[in-house]
């Protein structure tokens, strides 16, 4: 309502704080990040491997509690750092790879071939051969790929071990998916597997669903168990199923997320850019990570009478899961230095020392929403936001914004301050990275928990991940 003829100020752009994370805050408050920004002279990512370990342990606990014989494979495409694969090797977890380079990386950092699952459509003969030679489990996406795998297995025959495979099911509920085989193709594939005899070992079925809902995963898993029983009756081994990835990550509190979605509109973005609620990743998920796996196991698959867990136990079927994002939850952040600040009507445009290619969400017509922390040389800026600013990259492209949104910062950002985007290890850091403009790729810094073993009391210790710009 207008008071004395002055219309009320429209509410400012909404914030979207990430869940509180004291371990990350301790790093932001330690002074280490300014030191690293100075040392590397550009943006960088930091990685927290103890978080990966904790996420893996939580997923395994969910399998154990359900009494299910299960195995976790880290979906490597979610982040290229070596440290995750090293953690998998150290903790006996598997790795899901989909390209020859990923397979080499996994083997090279100590994961055994038999602990790999090889996914992806129409895999190259090179990848199929390497998978078979190393005893990896290959998910077969089509009849044509099955034939190529069988041909390779026959020509290698003799003393070598049989090629291990799963057949990937096209999700009946997502018939538009370009992945997997429909019911008739699965039927045909089973016949070909039987005829291939000892050249192969048909170990079961797999799927990977879009979206994050747990019920469709339980339903399709139930269907795959039925397929296993059918395959066993034909003399095939078929003792395991893979439910792929897609365990949600919960970045923000429910109230913050719903308030954000209700408030956000084009005026809150640079250049009045507009996003529909459905353009965003669901940054709040009431059921996420290990709880999502538990929900899948507890659900009664469509048409059945017992939980998926009971069905797996009762049929002696092993469950494989291939989470990427969920294993990386809160396991890393991305740090950019403010290089310029300019004013526009009602907000500032920050330019940082990196690009949106190091915060990938932008390249899917979307935006990474959890608020970045503003870290000044004197420490974190805290309090109520009153200084809106969008964040541009150090390139000559109008479209290169890390954040179009006018983030309400608690203080006016200044040159030399750092912006720390939280929880970016899952897909944000490197899936789209590029040395566009001859800018170097941001290095990845592994930080051990402050106060952890060998960290010298309260001071966090760091080292480079083995990956440098390549
Ligand atoms: C991408 C992918 C995953 C991992 O998905 P997340 O959503 O990161 O858990 C697992 N399996 C397959 C086959 C994939 O393509």
Say if residue 442 is in the same domain as residue 367. yes
Compute, in angstroms, the gap from residue 160 CA to the centroid of ligand 1: 30
Under DSSP, the state recorded for 416 is: T
Q: Is 124 inside any structural domain?
A: yes
Judge whether 355 lies within some domain: yes
313 and 403 in a single domain? The answer is: no
CB 225 within 8 A of CB 317: yes
Whether 120 lines ligand 1, by a CB cut-off of 6 Å, is no
**Residue 3: pLDDT above 60?**
no
Among 7, 134, 15, 84, smallest CA distance to 329 is for 84
Give the residue-averaged pLDDT of 23-43: 96
Q: Measured from the CB, is residue 77 less than 6 Å from ligand 1?
A: yes
Distance between CA atoms of 334 and 326, rounded to whole angstroms?
18
What is the reported pLDDT for 466?
78
* CATH label of the domain that carries residue 240: 3.20.20.10
Q: Are residues 376 and 290 in the same domain?
A: no
Residue 324 in contact with ligand 1 by CB distance below 6 A: yes
Q: Which of 394-403, 405-414, 447-456 has the lowest mean pLDDT?
A: 447-456
What distance in Å separates the CA atoms of residue 117 and residue 119, rounded to the nearest whole number? 6
Q: Give the residue, out of 52, 73, 74, 75, with the most ligand 1 atoms within 8 A of its beta carbon, to mutate for a pocket test.
A: 75
Q: Which residue has the tokens 């005899």?
A: 197
Q: Is 396 a catalytic residue?
A: yes
405 Cβ below 6 A of ligand 1: no
Range of the domain at 366: 22-48+330-464
Measure the CA dihedral 262/263/266/271, to 10°.
-140
Q: Is the CB of 247 under 6 A from ligand 1?
A: yes
Q: Do 213 and 361 belong to one domain?
A: no
Give yes or no for residue 455 having a pLDDT over 50.
no
Residues 460 and 339 in one domain: yes
43 falls within a domain: yes
Ligand 1 contacts CB of residue 208 (under 6 A): yes
Report yes or no: 43 and 354 within 8 Å, Cβ to Cβ.
yes
The 3-state DSSP class for residue 141 equals coil
pLDDT of residue 2: 47
245 lines ligand 1 (CB under 6 A): yes
> Are 191 and 178 within one domain?
yes
Residues 387 and 416 in one domain: yes
Task: Look at the alpha carbons of 404, 405, 407, 408 in this order and tell me if their dihedral is positive or negative.
Answer: positive
Quick one: which atom of ligand 1 is closest to the CA of 78?
Answer: 8
Do 73 and 198 lie in one domain? The reply is: yes
- Measured CA angle at 352 (ends 350, 356), to 5 deg: 105
Structure tokens, 442: 């941001």
Q: Give me the phi and psi of 450, to 5 degrees please.
A: -60, 135
A 10 A CB-CB count for 316 gives 11
Q: Give the burial string for 104-140 (b: 16+ CB within 10 Å, else e).
A: ebbbebebebebbbbbbeebeeebbbbbbebbbbbbb
Instruction: Please report, for residues 73, 341, 361, 403, the alpha-carbon distance to residue 369 in angstroms, rounded to integers and kept in the order given.
Output: 28, 21, 9, 8
Neighbours of 469 (CB within 10 A): 10
Model confidence at 207: pLDDT above 80: yes
Q: How confident is the model at residue 469 (pLDDT cuts 50, 70, 90)?
A: very low
For the chain, what is the mean pLDDT?
94
pLDDT at 130: 95
Q: Examine residue 272 and state whether it is found in any structural domain, yes or no.
A: no
Alpha carbons within 13 A on the beta-carbon side of 403: 27
**Same structural domain, 26 and 162:** no
Q: Counting atoms of ligand 1 from 1, which one is nearest the CA of 119?
A: 13
- Ligand 1 atom 12, closest CA: 244
Residues 349 and 381 in one domain: yes
Distance from the alpha carbon of residue 245 to the mean position of ligand 1, in angstroms:
4
Concatenate the DSSP letters of all residues of 235-292 into one string. Answer: T----EEE--S------S-HHHHHHHHHH--GGGBGGG----GGGS--S--SS-HHHH
pLDDT digits (tens, 9 = 90+) for 283-341: 999 999 999 999 999 999 999 999 999 999 999 999 999 999 999 999 999 999 999 99
Residue 348 lies in a domain: yes
**Residues 428-443: what's their mean pLDDT?**
95
User: What tokens does 361 get?
Assistant: 């969400």
Q: Which residue has the tokens 């990350």?
A: 24
Over the stretch 245-281, which tens digit does the pLDDT of each residue have?
Answer: 999 999 999 999 999 999 999 999 999 999 999 999 9
Neighbour-count burial of 30, counting CB atoms closer than 10 A to its CB (0-12 exposed, 13-18 middle, 19+ buried):
middle
Let me know if residue 116 belongs to a domain. Answer: yes
Smallest CA-to-CA distance from 334 within 383, 411, 391 is with 391
pLDDT, mean of residues 347-364: 95
Flag whether pLDDT at 1 surpasses 50: no
pLDDT of residue 470: 46
Task: Pick the last residue of a domain from 307, 325, 343.
Answer: 325
Cβ(323) to ligand 1 under 6 A? yes
pLDDT category at 9 given cuts 50, 70, 90 is low
Kindly give the distance from the C-alpha atom of residue 209 to the centroid of ligand 1, in angstroms, as a whole number.
Answer: 8
- pLDDT band at 453; cut points 50, 70, 90: low
Q: Which of 88, 228, 390, 396 is the catalytic position?
A: 396
Burial class (CB in 10 A: 0-12, 13-18, 19+), 75: buried
* Residue bearing the CA closest to ligand 1, atom 2: 245
* pLDDT interval class at 28 (50, 70, 90): very high
Helices (H) and strands (E) in the chain, counts: 12, 18
pLDDT (tens digit, 9 = 90+) per residue, 162-198?
999 999 999 999 999 999 999 999 999 999 999 999 9
pLDDT of residue 219 exceeding 80 = yes
Q: Buried b / exposed e across 80-97, counting CB within 10 Å, b at 16+?
A: bbbbbbbbbbeeebbbbb
Kindly tell me if the per-residue pLDDT of 467 is higher than 60.
no
Quick check: CB of 243 below 6 Å from ligand 1? no
For residue 73, give the ligand 1 atom closest to its CA.
10
7 lies in some domain: no
Please state, for a pLDDT cut of 90, what percent of the chain lies above it.
90
- Cα gap 419→425, rounded to integer Å: 16
CA–CA dist 309, 319 (Å, integer) = 9
Residue 334: strand pairing partners: 45, 421
Centre of ligand 1 to C-alpha 443, Å, is 24
C-beta of 244 in contact with ligand 1 (< 6 A): yes
> Quick check: 238 and 231 in contact, CB under 8 A?
yes
Q: Which of 102, 136, 245, 328 to mutate to test the pocket of ligand 1 (most atoms within 8 A of CB)?
A: 245
- Check which CATH number belongs to the domain holding 373 and give it: 2.40.37.10
Give the nearest ligand 1 atom to 247 CA: 9
Rounded (10°) angle between helices 49-65 and 289-298: 20
Same domain, 223 and 168: yes
Atom of ligand 1 nearest to the CA of 323: 9
Q: How far is the CA of 396 from the centre of ligand 1 (A)?
A: 34
**Residue 319 sits in the same domain as residue 368:** no
In DSSP terms, 206 is beta-bridged to 168, 242
pLDDT at residue 158, as a whole number: 60
Q: Is 460 in the pocket of ligand 1 (CB under 6 A)?
A: no
Among 8-17, 163-172, 320-329, 383-392, the least confident range = 8-17
pLDDT band at 4 (very low <50, low <70, confident <90, very high): low
Residue-by-residue DSSP string for 347-401: EEEEEESS-GGGSGGGGGT----SPPEEEETTEE--SS--EEEEEE-SSS-TT-E
**Whose alpha carbon is nearest atom 8 of ligand 1?**
324
């Amino acid at each position: 309502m207008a008071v004395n003829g002055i219309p009320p100020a429209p509410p400012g752009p909404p914030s979207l704080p990430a869940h509180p994370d004291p371990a990350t805050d301790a790093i932001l408050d330690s002074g280490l990040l300014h030191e690293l920004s100075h040392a590397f002279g550009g943006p960088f990512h930091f990685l927290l491997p103890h978080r990966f370990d904790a996420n893996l342990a939580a997923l395994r606990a969910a399998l154990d509690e359900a009494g299910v014989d299960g195995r976790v494979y880290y979906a490597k495409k979610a982040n290229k750092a070596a440290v995750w694969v090293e953690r998998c090797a150290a903790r006996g977890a598997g790795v899901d790879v989909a390209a020859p380079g990923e397979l080499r990386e996994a083997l090279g950092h100590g994961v055994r071939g038999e602990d790999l699952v090889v996914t992806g459509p129409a895999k190259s003969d090179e990848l199929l051969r390497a998978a078979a030679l190393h005893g990896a489990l290959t998910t077969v996406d089509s009849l044509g790929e099955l034939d190529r795998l069988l041909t390779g297995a026959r020509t290698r025959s003799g003393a070598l071990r049989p090629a291990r495979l799963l057949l990937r099911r096209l999700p009946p509920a997502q018939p538009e998916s370009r992945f997997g085989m429909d019911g008739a193709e699965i039927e045909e594939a089973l016949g070909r597997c039987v005829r291939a005899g000892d050249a192969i070992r048909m170990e079961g079925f797999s799927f990977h669903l879009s979206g994050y809902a747990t019920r469709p995963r339980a339903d399709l898993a139930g269907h795959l168990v039925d397929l296993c029983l059918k395959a066993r009756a034909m003399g095939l081994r078929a003792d395991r199923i893979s439910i792929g990835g897609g365990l949600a990550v919960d970045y923000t509190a429910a109230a913050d997320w719903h308030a954000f979605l209700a408030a956000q509109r084009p005026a809150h973005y640079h250049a009045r850019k507009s996003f529909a609620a459905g353009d965003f990743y669901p940054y709040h998920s009431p059921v996420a990570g290990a709880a999502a796996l538990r929900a899948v196991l507890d659900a009664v698959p469509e048409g059945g009478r017992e939980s998926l867990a009971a069905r797996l136990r009762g049929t002696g079927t092993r469950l494989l899961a291939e989470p990427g994002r969920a294993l990386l939850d809160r396991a890393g952040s991305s740090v950019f230095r403010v290089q310029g600040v300019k004013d526009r009507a009602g907000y500032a445009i920050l330019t940082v020392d990196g690009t949106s290619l190091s915060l990938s969400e932008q390249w899917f017509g979307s935006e990474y929403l959890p608020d970045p922390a503003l870290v000044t040389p004197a420490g974190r800026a805290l309090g109520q936001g009153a200084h809106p600013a969008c964040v541009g990259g150090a390139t000559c492209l109008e479209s290169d914004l890390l954040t179009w949104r006018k983030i309400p910062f608690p203080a006016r950002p200044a040159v030399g301050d750092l912006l720390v985007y939280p929880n970016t290890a899952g897909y944000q850091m490197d899936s789209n990275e590029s040395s566009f403009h001859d800018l170097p790729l941001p290095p990845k810094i592994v930080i051990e928990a402050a106060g952890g073993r060998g960290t010298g009391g309260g001071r966090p210790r760091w080292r480079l991940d083995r990956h440098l710009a390549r």
